[in-house]
């Protein structure tokens, strides 16, 4: 089976590592300095789940050079999705499975609309992983979980069989993918947004205490939007996410959006706050704090 991963950051690097550990024909797509580093040093992983690993898959800058693929994992930032999909089109025929694993809520629909061929799988991931200056990947924490779904469950099960490896990566098909997608989106709309706004870790949300209240309010506002869209989220979701993120998360952890903000890189502002605020307006749901922080972050990044 010919497997491809495009976007070798924290998420893509870990997905690629799992594939390389269990399959022979894996191709990574990377650009410029990252491509050169991966070709020269291999895919280097520092992981609490997999340990210290180095893999040497094929690394290309142009996906078309790899030919038609069986499964392609797309792990880029949301604002790079269309560019990545354009690049991989020569690798897709009617049997190719495409798995966009991105932040946000609408990448599945975007991928389905854009591609003329292939079978698109909806997916999300829970993991703490990032790339380092030397383009190695660091994964921390005792969890790495992927959820996938598709109209044809056999296609989703194919992805489960590729990714589900006990102790390394857990992959399954959930009962309600919409609820799972919105649960993660709500979490990110609050946690990614507020840590990017204050450019802080979880510890930075604890002091001053007003930030904790803002975090909870952002969760509540995102829940109101989900409810307006008739997503059957649990009634206590805001409280449960708040407790999990403040009481059961490493205090020195932060979000990818905060890391990008601190590094003065483009951030996924429209993926989270922008999408939430626009959807709230369409549904006539007031989200004053989300609007305020969206505007503040937009001013910080312009």
Q: What is the mean pLDDT of residues 209-223?
A: 96
Q: With b meaning 16 or more CB within 10 Å and e meaning fewer, what string describes 197-234?
A: bbebbbebbeeeeebeebbbbbbbbbbbbbbeeebebe
Strands (E), 132-188: 137-149, 170-172
pLDDT of residue 146: 98
Q: What is the CA radius of gyration of the chain?
A: 19
Each residue's pLDDT tens digit, 87-108: 999 999 999 999 999 999 999 9
Of 67, 70, 66, 29, nearest to 155 (Cα)?
70
Each residue's pLDDT tens digit, 178-214: 999 999 999 999 999 999 999 999 999 988 889 999 9
Each residue's pLDDT tens digit, 269-285: 999 999 999 999 999 99
**Domains of the chain, earliest start first:** 3-174 (3.40.50.720), 178-301 (1.10.1040.10)
pLDDT of residue 141: 87
| 3-state SS assignment for residue 237 | helix
Look over the chain and give the mean of its residue pLDDT values, rounded to a whole number.
96
Q: With b meaning 16 or more CB within 10 Å and e meaning fewer, what string describes 245-283?
A: bbeebeeebbbbbbbbbeeeeebbbbbbbbbbbebbeee
| Longest Cα separation, the chain | 54
């Amino acid at each position: 089976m010919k497997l491809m991963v495009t976007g070798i950051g924290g998420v893509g690097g870990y997905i690629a590592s799992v594939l390389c550990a269990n399959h022979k024909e894996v191709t990574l797509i990377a650009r410029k300095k990252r491509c050169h580093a991966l070709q020269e040093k291999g895919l280097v992983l520092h992981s609490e789940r997999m340990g210290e690993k180095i893999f040497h898959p094929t690394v290309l800058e142009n996906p078309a050079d790899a030919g038609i693929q069986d499964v392609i994992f797309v792990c880029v930032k949301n604002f790079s999705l269309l560019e990545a999909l354009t690049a991989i089109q020569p690798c897709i025929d009617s049997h190719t499975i495409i798995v966009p694993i991105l932040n946000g809520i609408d990448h599945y629909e975007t991928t389905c609309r854009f591609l003329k061929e292939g079978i698109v799988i909806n997916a999300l991931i829970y993991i703490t992983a990032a790339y380092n200056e030397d383009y190695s990947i660091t994964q921390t924490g005792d969890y790495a979980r992927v959820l996938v779904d598709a109209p044809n469950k056999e296609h989703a099960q194919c992805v489960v069989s590729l990714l589900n490896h006990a102790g390394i990566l857990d992959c399954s098909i959930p009962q309600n993918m919409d609820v799972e997608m919105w649960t993660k989106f709500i979490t990110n709309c609050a946690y990614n947004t507020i840590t990017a706004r204050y450019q802080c870790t979880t510890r930075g949300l604890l002091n001053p205490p007003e930030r904790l209240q803002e975090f909870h309010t952002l969760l509540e506002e995102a829940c109101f939007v989900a409810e307006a869209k008739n997503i059957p989220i649990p009634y206590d979701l805001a409280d449960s996410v708040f407790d999990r993120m403040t009481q059961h998360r490493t205090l020195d952890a932060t979000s990818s959006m905060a890391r990008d903000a601190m590094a003065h890189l483009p951030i996924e502002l429209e993926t989270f706050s922008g999408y939430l605020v626009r959807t709230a307006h369409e549904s006539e749901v007031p989200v004053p704090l989300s609007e305020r922080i969206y505007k503040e972050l937009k001013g910080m990044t312009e």
